[in-house]
Structure formats: structure tokens, C-alpha cells
Amino acid sequence: MLVGGVDSPVRAFRSVGGSPVFFARGTGAYLIDVDGRRYLDLVSSWGANILGNAPPGVVAAVRAAAVRGLTFGAPSPLEHELAEEIRRAVPVAERLRFVSSGTEAVMSAVRAARGFTGRSKVVKFDGGYHGHSDGLLARAGSGVATASLPDSAGVPSAVVGETLVSRYNDPDSLADLFERQGSAVAAVVVEPVAGNMGVVLPQPGFLSAVSRLAHDHGALVIADEVITGFRLRRGTVHESLGLHADLVTLGKVIGGGMPVGAYGGRRDVMEVVAPLGPVYQAGTLSGNPVAMAAGRAMLDRLTASTYSTLERLGAQLEALLHRLSDEVGGAPVTLTRAGSMLGLFFAGGPIRDRQDAERSDRNRYARFFHAVLDRGVYLPPSALETTFLSAAIRPRDLQLAESALRAGFRAARSA
């Protein structure tokens, strides 16, 4: 039996109560549960399914690759083809290495940064989630925040002691940290748009300050774009927001729905990784041909029109939620959005960091969630997660969801 009946904690519905929905299949904008009921999918496999569920071109590429071999544990041309595609869209990734998850990607990037700099400490931001490796579970977001755990049992204090935590959107906090311990810091790891405490946008000047402070003290910058990479634009978004990264991590979208992660960066930094350098990292299934074929097929279909569609859908959903929350009233609501990523907080005022995000009323969100779910719309089963739209959604799908969302706000309003 599975632990808690699930393979990832947030799926257990502990944050919102009730029993999780078990899905049998998905097609386009919709998921179908084991009882045959259909739901508009506003989770999109936590951002990975940017084209919707089972896009035909990606499925065809997976089938073609699978009959040639599921895994070789050896090099294949598909790895290099996808790497070249990513390289063209992500200038910082002069050298790249595929792994099997976002957690592995960030863990490996941190190890490379430590190997390159000869330093041990890493800076992260309160509420930022960078996978479940031991050292990065210090005051993390996502499922850890959902469970109200500041970190995880089973993580030695000595390991977490190598992680320094600053406040997101607070350059003064980071400057103070570097003033005290800057000579020991190997890298700062940051999500350019935080996506694991809801959607928290960087304030003007924050990311450029992160780059300046890190580089002034000889530390590297790791842009964690596991969520935002190829989700908000073709390639990465950190450059356009003022962050000058030395390493970048990717996942989700670049796998086309298959398990994948990648880390890359400056050539001199990446060449400390074995077999060229002393930093060891390996994986039997890294770069497996099925995931590489899915990723290549996905990226081939991400056009300028795709991102225009996603932006329009995101703006439409944001406007719809604003209108309905105003019409129903009774509970303060704050919405944040970056393209097709949207955060819904049952709290008033701006959301700039984890402390602001934690003001969201989880009980109201739970009532909202179940009222909407009962009417055929699947949202993140946590008050501190991100809603993701896919390009398979049509404006009429959101129009049809209006009555479900209105019912959700009415449920949230009730005492």
C-alpha cells in the first residue's frame, strides 16, 4: 500500500480535507476520474502539461520512442537534440546535464556551485521550494508550507546549518546576510517568480540586487526555473526580470509530461561536473529516450502563439475571479498572476513574501476548493499552491466554469 495512499503529500487533500480524486485519464483541458466524471483541469500536473492532457503530437513521439527502447543507460542522439533546443532558448546554459526530476536538478546545481567555489553555504529564500533534498528543506514552501512544517524530520541539523535563509523581496535582509557570512556562500538559489507559496512576484529591483550582492561576494546565482522555465515564455524568464544567473535549473515543461529535470550554466562552472571535473553526479535514467522525445515534441509546439494564448487565458481567469469575488463579497481576496500562473489568497493586501502568503485563510480556501470541485473544476488542493492554465483551455471552458467559481466564493464567504 502507498504511504498515505499517495506518492506526493499534497495529493492527500490534508490541507483541504476530504478524500482525493483518483483520475483515470485526461484529454485536452479536462481530467476524467475513475467514476467517469469530468473536471476542467486548472492544475496541469503542477505546470508540466502546458499544452493540456495527452497532446497528440507528444503522445505520438512517446510511442515512437518507446518501441525503439525505453532506456539504454547509454548515450542517445535524442539527448543532444533536446539539449540543443534548450540551449538556443536559454543563453546561460552553455553546458547542460539532464536528470530525472526538479529536485535532482537543483541538488546537482548546488553541488556544482560548491565544487566550483570551494565554499559550503547556500542561500535560499523563506518560502522558496527547491525540491526535497535535505539542505533545501529549510523553511521551504509548497507541500511543506501546506503541512505547516518549517522543515522535515529526518534532516540532520548539521545539513540544514549549511543553508542560510533570507526574506523574499527584501534586499536589505540579503545584504545583511552577506555582510555576516558572504565569504562562505557558494550560491544563492532563487525562483524568479516564486510559485510554491502561491504566486509571489518579484518586486522591482529585487532580483538585480540578488545578482549584485551574490557576485560582489564571489558567490554564484542559481535561477530555479523548474516551474517558470518554458512556462511563461520560450526559454527562461529570469533575464527579463533582472536576475543574472550563473546556473539555471529546469523541469516540468521540458519533459512533455515525462519525468525530467536539467541543470546548466556557464561552461566553466558546468565543467567541474564529472567526467570533466571532480563533482560527481549520475543517474541510470537520466536522459532516457522516452522523456527526451516527449520534451523535444513539446518544445517544438511551443510557439509565440501558444504564449499569447496562455497570457489571454490567464488574464481572462484573473478578471473572472476578481469579478466574482467582488460580486459575492464577504471575504478579502488577493489575486497574483504571472502569465498562465495564478495565485488565489483569501487575504487582503499585497502578497510580497511568505509572511504575507501565510495570512491566507486556509479554511476559506478549503470551502472554496470543495464547492468548485463538486461542480467539475479541479484546482490545487492547497491554499499555498499555484493554479496553472494550459493552452488546451478555451475561453468557453472558463465561461462554463463561472457558476462553479461563484459557488466557491459563496462557500468561502460562509462562516
Which sequence positions are flagged as catalytic?
129, 224, 252
Q: What's the N-to-C CA distance of the chain in angstroms?
A: 37
Q: Which residues, including other chains, have CB under 8 Å from residue 226's CB and lie 6 or more apart?
A: 102, 105, 106, 130, 131, 249, 250, 251, 252, 261
- CB-count burial class (<10 Å; 0-12, 13-18, 19+) for 183: exposed
What does the DSSP 8-state code read for residue 279? B
**Alpha-carbon dihedral of residues 9, 188, 190, 10, nearest 10 degrees?**
0
Measured CA to CA, the distance from residue 164 to residue 42 in angstroms comes to: 34
SS3 track for 138-174:
CCCCHHHHHCCCCCCCCCCHHHHCCEEEECCCCHHHH
C-alpha cell, 82? 533536446
Measured CA to CA, the distance from residue 54 to residue 60 in angstroms comes to: 10
Sequence letter at residue 100: S
How many Cβ atoms from other residues are within 10 Å of residue 18's Cβ? 12
Q: Which residues, including other chains, have CB under 8 Å from residue 204's CB and lie 6 or more apart?
A: none
